[in-house]
Structure 1
Amino acid sequence: MFYGEKLKALRELNGLSRKELAGKINVTEQAVWQFENQYTAPKFEIVNELKKYFSVKSQFFYTDSFVENVTDIERIAYRAEDRDSRKKAKMEITYINFISHFISKFETPLTLPSQNIHSLRKDIEKCLYDRSFAISKKDIERAASIARKKLGVSENKELLYRLELSGIYILEKSMGLSIDAYSTWTNKDIPFIILGTEKKSSVRRNFDLAHELGHLLMHKHIDMDSLDKKELRRVEHEANDFASYFLLPKDEFIKNFQELSKKSNPDSYIELKMKYHISIQALEYRAYKLNLLSFEENRYFYSALNRMKYKVIEPLDEDIPIVRPGKVRALLSLILENNLLSLDQFLDTYSIDSTFLESLLGIDEDVLKEYKGISKLDYFDRRVITML
């Protein structure tokens, strides 16, 4: 029996409309609709085209679905301008459903160390308890201070590592130019941050991470899909404020900023950028909001920023290395290197190719090649392994 829901899941996972998929396999859009709704089954030749395009085995389409819905559009925190694309939303929901299932399977033979993201979220919720929909900046700054301390972030360059250590799963995937990142809690209370793979400086990615952390800690119980544009902008501003307060703690930043010789000269911020791993624009904005610059100095700064062409590329953007997520790759390598899982058996169980898994996890091509042909060892006891 051909399971049309699995074809639909693959199509949405790859961000394709029925019309786009039809063009790739040389059938009509109506035919794709019929396949997905199981009114007709595709011929062998079409199944062969589907398996090659999606990097799965033919049997994939003839076995029952293995993924379950663990998130929905209400839970996903997109940037406001990204909310209009329903196709993108379906793509990311399907992606989270797939990735959540596979990660849970990878973790099965392990006993994981304690993680503090859930207790941190509860602390933040207590901090913001009984507030109106619009959270005050004072409350956000307090929440950011609590989060930075509990996560143990002493330097911003270690932010991604600290977030992964806390229990957040961070992955990279291609999402086009319009989406920098998004975050979500699944209905199993697992937090994800997904970063776009479009070229972006390390410091701007750092801000994205802090922004999404703000969403995870402050906006878990908000129905993101029901908000109008004004409300979405307000929620985004709250996450931006959280990121600014989190990455640039007030007292320390004021002390460092006061050492600058020319506050309105963008080049004066280069040392601060290296120290905080934050863009020059974000540094100046934080200083201006703290009344460390006058209105005239702020205007002169942005005039100079445009004149120096720093709006797109700043000094050090190409020198500070981009830190890539490592937790999921480390998890997979750990279970494969310790023979806690047979890669061949795993791929056969799900009727997928290794390239499918590599693409889904955002790991380099052919990274799984060395683990093929290795049998799984059996253990009577679960193993406690420190992940990071």
Structure 2
Amino acid sequence: MFFGEKLQSVRELNGLSRKELADQLNLSEQAIWQYENQYTVPKFEVVNELKKVFNVRAQFFYTEPFVTNISKVESIAYRAEDREARKKTKMETTFIDFISYFLDKFENKLNLPTSILPLLRDESMQLYNTSVEASDRLLQLESIAENARKKLDVQSNSELLYKLELSGIAILEKNMGPSIDAYSTWTSQQKPFIILGNKKKSAVRRNFDLAHELGHLLLHYKIDMDSLTKDEHKTIEKEANDFASFFLLPKAPFLKDFSAISKKSNPESYLDMKMKYMVSIGALEYRAYKMGLLTFEENRYFCATLNRKDYRKNEPLDEDIPIVRPGKVRSLLDLILKNHLFSLNDILNDYSIDRSFLESLFGLENKFLSKYFEESNRDYFNHSNVVSLFAKDN
């Protein structure tokens, strides 16, 4: 029996509309709709083409769906400039559903520490929902950001991605096109995700994306993102930006370091602070200006210089600071496969998928998983084995 639901899910997973898939296969959009709704069954030749497009085996379409819907459209927070891209949000929920399924399958074999994110989120929301005057809102956000930085034990922004992964957030990279920087969401199973676009971006701007999405996870849980008005959406985006600024640039050390800057209106004067805080020159100056450390004239000159030197797109040192990539999923797969808790061959056979399917799903480079293929007669450990991800104290 051909399962049209499997075709729809793998199409959405790959970010294709029915028309886009139909064009690739030289079929009509109506034909794809009929396959997905099981009004007709694709011919053998069509199934062979579907295999190539989606890196799966023919049997994939003839076995029951294994992924459940645990991600909701209204729970996904996009950046403000990505508002128009929400029409593709359904496809991102499919991606989260697939990723979450395989992560859960692999993590069930490990002794993982309890994620601190749900508790930190509840603490943050309790303070966030406390009624305050509009003039005190920023102080409230700053207090939430300072508490989050402390609870996550972020000593340096250079370790931010690692600390977020350690806290229980699943962070992955995904090709989402030129208009989407990042997004975040909580699943119905209370698992937090941050998905980063893999378009070329500096390390310092990626750091801001991470802090911004952390703000959404902690402040805007249960908000229906899909029903917000334009003004409401701008408000929560500004809150996430303010949170990110407070989180990345704590007040006391920032004031101390900023006092050493001789010419506040010169972007080059901020390079040492950029290296220390791993934050863009523009974000550093904006934080200082909002704290009243620059005059209006100094701020205007600074912004004019940024525009004149085209620093809005590319700042000094951007090419020198290496971009940190998510590592938790790589470590998880390495631990699982090296300890033979799962056989890669068994996984691919059980789900009728190709190696490249998993590599694409997890944002891994081509052939990353090749080294884990084992001889068919390898003596694997049985599935009752459990390996701790963290060394136990003696």
Q: TM-score, normalised by structure 1?
A: 0.97
Report deviation, 1:95: 0.4
Match in the other structure for 1:350: 351
Which residue identity lines up with residue 72 of structure 1 in the other structure?
K
Within 1, Cα distance between the matches of 2:302 and 2:85? Answer: 36
1:365 aligns with 2:369: no
Task: Single out whichever of 24-33 and 278-287 deviates more from structure 2.
Answer: 24-33
Task: Report SS of the residue matched to 1:19.
Answer: helix
Task: Single out whichever of 183-192 and 20-29 deviates more from structure 2.
Answer: 20-29
CA contact (8 A) 2:342 2:383 kept: no
Match in the other structure for 2:387: 383
Report deviation, 1:296: 0.3
CA contact (8 A) 2:345 2:374 kept: yes
Within 2, Cα distance between the matches of 1:162 and 1:143? Answer: 17
Within 2, Cα distance between the matches of 1:359 and 1:105? Answer: 18
Q: How does 1:1-388 map to 2 (within 5 A)?
A: 1-131=1-131, 136-374=137-375, 375=378, 376-378=380-382, 380-386=384-390
Task: Report SS of the residue matched to 1:178.
Answer: coil
Q: 1:313 to 1:71 in 2, by over 3 A?
A: same
Report deviation, 1:59: 0.2
Cα distance per residue 1:189-229 (max 9 Å; x no partner):
00000000000000000000000000000001211111011
Which residue identity lines up with residue 119 of structure 2 in the other structure?
S
Within 1, Cα distance between the matches of 2:220 and 2:94? Answer: 21
Report deviation, 1:260: 0.2
Within 2, Cα distance between the matches of 1:364 and 1:11? Answer: 21
Task: Single out whichever of 75-84 and 91-100 deviates more from structure 2.
Answer: 75-84
Task: Single out whichever of 300-309 and 138-147 deviates more from structure 2.
Answer: 300-309
Identical pairs, percent:
61
Within 1, Cα distance between the matches of 2:131 and 2:216? Answer: 16
Within 1, Cα distance between the matches of 2:131 and 2:13? Answer: 38
Q: 1:310 to 1:55 in 2, by over 3 A?
A: same
Which residue identity lines up with residue 200 of structure 1 in the other structure?
K
Within 2, Cα distance between the matches of 1:293 and 1:337? Answer: 55
CA contact (8 A) 1:145 1:245 kept: yes
Which residue identity lines up with residue 210 of structure 1 in the other structure?
A
Cα distance per residue 1:7-43 (max 9 Å; x no partner):
1111111111111111111111111110000000000
Query: RMSD over aligned Cα, in angstroms?
Result: 1.5
Gaps of at least 5 residues in structure 1 are none
Cα distance per residue 1:259-278 (max 9 Å; x no partner):
10100000000011001000
Within 2, Cα distance between the matches of 1:318 and 1:377? Answer: 45
Task: Report SS of the residue matched to 1:84.
Answer: helix
Report deviation, 1:84: 2.9
Task: Single out whichever of 81-90 and 143-152 deviates more from structure 2.
Answer: 81-90
Report deviation, 1:113: 2.0
CA contact (8 A) 2:85 2:180 kept: no
Which residue identity lines up with residue 217 of structure 1 in the other structure?
L
CA contact (8 A) 1:80 1:229 kept: no
CA contact (8 A) 1:109 1:382 kept: yes
Within 2, Cα distance between the matches of 1:186 and 1:132? Answer: 30
Task: Report SS of the residue matched to 2:84.
Answer: coil
Task: Single out whichever of 236-245 and 120-129 deviates more from structure 2.
Answer: 120-129
Report deviation, 1:87: 4.0
Aligned length: 387
Which residue identity lines up with residue 125 of structure 2 in the other structure?
E
Task: Single out whichever of 8-17 and 294-303 deviates more from structure 2.
Answer: 8-17
Q: TM-score, normalised by structure 2?
A: 0.95
Task: Report SS of the residue matched to 1:136.
Answer: helix
Cα distance per residue 1:85-133 (max 9 Å; x no partner):
3442122111001000010011121121233212211221222233379
Task: Single out whichever of 366-375 and 352-361 deviates more from structure 2.
Answer: 366-375
Within 2, Cα distance between the matches of 1:307 and 1:347? Answer: 53
Q: 1:316 to 1:214 in 2, by over 3 A?
A: same
Cα distance per residue 1:121-147 (max 9 Å; x no partner):
122122223337988111100000000
